[in-house]
Chains A and B, each alone.
Chain A
């Protein structure tokens, strides 16, 4: 068990059955009064946030988290299937838990999957990922509208802004943390 004094930013604990991560934490003590611990927490599944104040003496169950290297296999409806690289066990994750990562998932992409007990609750992608452009309008030479970017669709269906010189079938590098175009590569 964790005592309230063990809590700090980043501590993961279980509240009402859900895993939460402490996002900010402070010790307060009004003059001559009792020690209070002010905590902001984020639900690691739903992303909702919570403010709680605890007194000393309260205790918490730590949330056991495990991150495993997995490979993305396929999607069926709103279910995403991944395979553990070591045990070859398959896990299925809901689209909500996959979150924005779904924009960058191609079959056989290597990712890290965060597990809360047996339940997969998040995907961490490589910071940069290569995806091929499937549709974008050609660059009109002499276009003087001053626009320095245009929309492009990549093979996962994700749409982002790219520089005007990018053409269909080109391979581009996307920063998965921001979802933005980074550079283009040959291949």
Chain B
């Protein structure tokens, strides 16, 4: 409803595909010689290239070996894309969507996480990655990428700090190395136009202004594969038709939101297990 009221077209794309976008730390599940999608992004971006300007999809995605209190290997993703837009437009969408969901699904129009009420109707908190590192850690963001401690600091220092905010938090402008498919900021090219949405410290969505340069995109995919090889992981095939069509993609922005986690927030559930009928362990 939220999306159709705003002129988005609901689309369906194949779950089983020859190639996902290669990522250093996301492992697709192979099926015969193809893969299950880790996100519907490749096919949805190809639809943008064909001229569909506002599209959304709610679908299953699969990521190998991801299981924890907020992770399932098979989970539900909501992705949406806008042409002639950038990541700021997506942040506005997020604001509208969270207010809509909170009004529709909860009695007090608020989300609940660890017993704390989070009100999406108040003004949100915005931090750049650089600011968040300065404020909540003793390290600098770019240094932490270089010495490999970025993820540790993010999960050990910054995310726990976000748990205390009674409004949603946007963490924006990621170091360029951590945004394989995002456009770089024109004024500060060390950073990319990527953001994460947090509610009660729970990471809910990741969005960015899309990279539309096919050559640059190919280089970044190859870099991701190189990093994978250094980690002793398999090289992944490149989504060639996507790279071919990318030159036709208008300036766009896209975002992926974890639906199971959104349900956790509307129901005040601590664990993802509480919002699905079957966990992998119960099968």
B154 within 8 A of A: yes
A140 to B147, CA, bound (A): 74
Task: Assess whether B123 is interfacial by the CB under 8 Å rule.
Answer: no
Residue B190, interface by CB 8 Å? no
Q: Which residues of A are in contact with B by a Cβ distance under 8 Å?
A: 5, 26-36, 38, 53, 56-57
Q: A5-B65, A29-B71, A32-B23 are in contact. List 18 more A-B contacts (CB 8 A).
A: A26-B69, A27-B66, A27-B69, A28-B70, A29-B68, A30-B155, A32-B25, A32-B26, A32-B178, A32-B206, A33-B25, A34-B24, A34-B25, A35-B65, A36-B155, A38-B155, A53-B152, A56-B65
Q: A32-B23, A33-B150, A38-B155 are in contact. Are A26 and B68 (CB under 8 A)?
A: yes
Give chain A residues whose Cβ lies under 8 Å from the Cβ of B79.
none
C-alpha spacing A36/B154, complex, angstroms: 11
Chain A residues with CB under 8 Å of B155's CB are 28, 30, 36, 38, 53
Give Cα A56–Cα B180 distance, bound, in whole angstroms: 21
- Is the C-beta of B93 less than 8 angstroms from some C-beta in chain A? no
In contact, B150 and A28 (Cβ under 8 angstroms): no
CB-defined A-B contacts under 8 Å, sample of 17: A27-B66, A27-B67, A27-B69, A28-B68, A29-B25, A30-B151, A30-B155, A32-B23, A32-B25, A32-B26, A33-B151, A34-B24, A34-B25, A34-B151, A36-B152, A36-B155, A53-B152
- Report the bound CA distance from A75 to B87 in whole Å: 72
- Chain B positions within 8 Å of A, measured between CB atoms, are 23-26, 65-71, 150-152, 154-156, 159, 178-180, 196, 203, 206, 231-232
Inter-chain contact B203/A30, CB cutoff 8 Å: yes
**Distance in Å from the Cβ of B112 to the closest Cβ of chain A?**
20
B204 to chain A, nearest CB (A): 10
B151 touches A27 (CB 8 A): no
Assess A35 versus B66: contact at CB under 8 Å? Given A27-B71, A29-B25.
Answer: yes
Residues in A whose Cβ lies below 8 Å from that of B65: 5, 35, 56
Interface of chain A, main secondary structure: loop
CB distance from A68 to the nearest CB of B (A): 32
A35 and B25 alpha carbons, distance in the complex (Å): 7
Instruction: For B23, list chain A residues within 8 Å (CB).
Output: 32
Q: In the bound complex, what is the Cα–Cα distance between A56 and B24 (angstroms)?
A: 13
How far, in Å, is A1 (CB) from chain B's closest CB? 17
Q: Is the CB of B196 within 8 A of A31?
A: yes
Residues of B within 8 Å of A32, CB to CB, are 23, 25-26, 178-180, 206
Q: Which residue of B lies closest to A28 (CB)?
A: B155
**Most chain B beta-carbon contacts within 10 A, residue among A32, A33, A36, A38:** A32
Q: In whole Å, how far is A164's beta carbon from the nearest beta carbon of chain B?
A: 42
A30 to B145, CA, bound (A): 14
CA distance A30 to B178 in the complex (A): 11
**Chain A to chain B: the 3 pairs with minimum beta-carbon distance, closest first:** A27-B68, A33-B151, A31-B206
A33 in contact with B180 (CB, 8 Å): no
Output the residue of A30, A34, A38 with the most chain B CB within 10 A.
Answer: A30
Q: Provide the bound-state CA to CA distance between A150 and B109, in Å.
A: 53
- For residue B231, which residue of chain A has the nearest CB? A57
Chain A residues closer than 8 Å to B150, beta-carbon distance: 33
- A5 cross-chain contacts in B, Cβ below 8 A: 65
* Bound CA–CA A26/B206 (angstroms): 21
